[in-house]
Every structure is written in structure tokens, then in C-alpha cells.
Amino acid sequence: MEKINGLIAANFAPYNTDGSVNYALIPAIVEEMLQQGVKGVFICGTNGEGPSLSTEERMQLAEAYVNIVNKRLLVFVHVGHSSITEAKRLAAHAAEIGADYISAVSAFYFKPSSVDNLVSCMAAIASAAPKTPFFYYHIPTVTGISIDLLAFLELAEQAIPSFAGIKYTASTIHEYQACLHYKDGKYDILFGFDELLLPALAVGAKGAIGSTYNYAGRLYNQVIALFEAGKLAEAELLHFEAVKMIRLLVKYGPIPTQRSIMKKIGLDLGIPRLPLRSLSAEVEQALYADLTASGFIALTKDEQ
């Protein structure tokens, strides 16, 4: 299977004013992703509020994306769920509608007790879509599951015939690099910490999945181009512009802040579901002032 080279945007969930999913906004979201120059979309994950959506809503979102994308982008469907039964339903549906990849986090209420236990859970989910490449979604800051991923790889390759790799959302670059080199790069290890993309490129990253690529894909693609051209000082300076923006996500709250940024670029995604909350009008204006002062919004609009 060909490995992924480039950026995958982890899309946000769109809502109507009554809190229902706004499927009608998906064509505009997909067009923006094409304009940003990303290679694909990752839906119903952390930023897509997958755990806050019903199984039926997740299926409808997946079907809408697959139909609207129409092979113009890669489509990753996150199927992780604290119920393995529901995760299998989502996986089977994603395969049926023609998603390119499926991915799943660990169960996060009753948590797997060992690497072997985790692999068994992932194998059960992947078995529902045996012909669709499967990525384990490693995000320990959210799931609380922090394991030896090399041990995971050793067991996963035996237990999951469709295993394609890992969505690696953690800051431990040394382990990420070790996973990249596992069996001479046998698996696709997609990097998921946007603020560390440049260091990840330095240790061999080729593909990455992240939330900020929704509105700053052009900027990050330029970072990649500068890195590949050997212009490391320029790449570092441009990457730092992204890092300064990401510091604002810490200041104001990651998902609400990014939803406000999406509104600023013309895609009003509505109010997220509880327990997430939108920024107040006052805080949102403070965010926009910070972004304007830093010049970040202008940078994201530059044609690269």
C-alpha cells in the first residue's frame, strides 16, 4: 500500500443553530480543504467531536464526506468508540460507503489493561472492515492510554491483517522516530502534533494529520517545501509563526479557538456540543486582535 505524503486535515463538526449536524455545510468545507492544499480529511475524530455524536450522525457525516469529496481527497473515518460493538458498526459502514481508511482510538472509559488487550480491541474493530486499511489513533493526552508503541506494532502486525499504521498524536519525537524505522519503515506513521511538524520532518515524517491544517494548510505546505529544499532557517521561521498561533489555542482553548478561526475565514461551524463551549463574543474579539497583531491570518491566506 502506498504511503501518505502530505497533510490531512482533522475536520471540525458543523452544527445548525438548533444543535443538529449541518450536513449542508460540508461542500463548502471540502472546497476549503482543496484550497488549503491538503491531501485528505480525517472526520469524526477529536476535532470532529466524534464522541459527542450519535452513531447515526457519524454514519451520515461519513457518507456525506465520501460523496462530496468524490475521490478528490483521501477520506479517513474515525470509528473509535467506548463500545466496541458501535465501533464495529461504524467501521463496517465506512467500508461499505468507500472510505479510504478507518482509524480508532482506544476505548476511554473502561480502558485496555495491557498492550495485548489494546491490540485485541483494535483487531475486533478492524475485523468489521477487513479490506479497509486501519490506523490506530494514539492520543494519550485524551484517552489516558500510554503504551509502548513498538510492542504494539509487533502484536498489531500479527493480529490485524488490514493494519496500515498509527496516527501518532503525542510529543515524544524519539518514539515517533522509532516507529518510523520499525522493520525498515514497514508502516505509515502519521504525525499528529502540528506544533512539532518541523521536528517531525527532521526525523523522517512524510504524512501528518492535524487540526490547524483546516485553515493553515498553505502555511504548513510552505514549511514542508522549504524543508525539502534545504532552506532550514526559513522553514524554522515560518514554522514559528504557526507555533505562535498554537500558543493562542492554549490561551483560549484548542477546539473553541479553532472554530472561531474557521468562522474568521468564512466557515461558521456553529456552537459545539457540551461539554465544549464557544468563545464569548468578547474573548473571540480578543483572539482576532491577537491573530491580526501576529499577522497569522494574512499568512494563512498567502498563495504558496
Instruction: Indicate which residue of 15, 65, 101, 137 is catalytic.
Output: 137
Instruction: Indicate which residue of 15, 39, 167, 168 is catalytic.
Output: 167
Q: Among this protein's residues, is 137 annotated catalytic?
A: yes
3-state secondary structure the chain: CCCCCEEEEECCCCECCCCCECHHHHHHHHHHHHHHCCCEEEECCCCCCHHHCCHHHHHHHHHHHHHHHCCCCEEEEECCCCCHHHHHHHHHHHHHHCCCEEEECCCCCCCCCCHHHHHHHHHHHHCCCCCCCEEEEECHHHHCCCCCHHHHHHHHHHHCCCEEEEEECCCCHHHHHHHHCCCCCCCEEEECCHHHHHHHHHCCCCEEEECCHHHHHHHHHHHHHHHHCCCHHHHHHHHHHHHHHHHHHHHHCHHHHHHHHHHHCCCCCCCCCCCCCCCCHHHHHHHHHHHHHHCHHHHHHCCC
User: Does 265 show up as a binding residue in the annotation?
Assistant: no
Q: Among this protein's residues, is 167 annotated catalytic?
A: yes
- Report the binding-site residues for pyruvate: 209
Catalytic residues: 137, 167
- Report the binding-site residues: 209
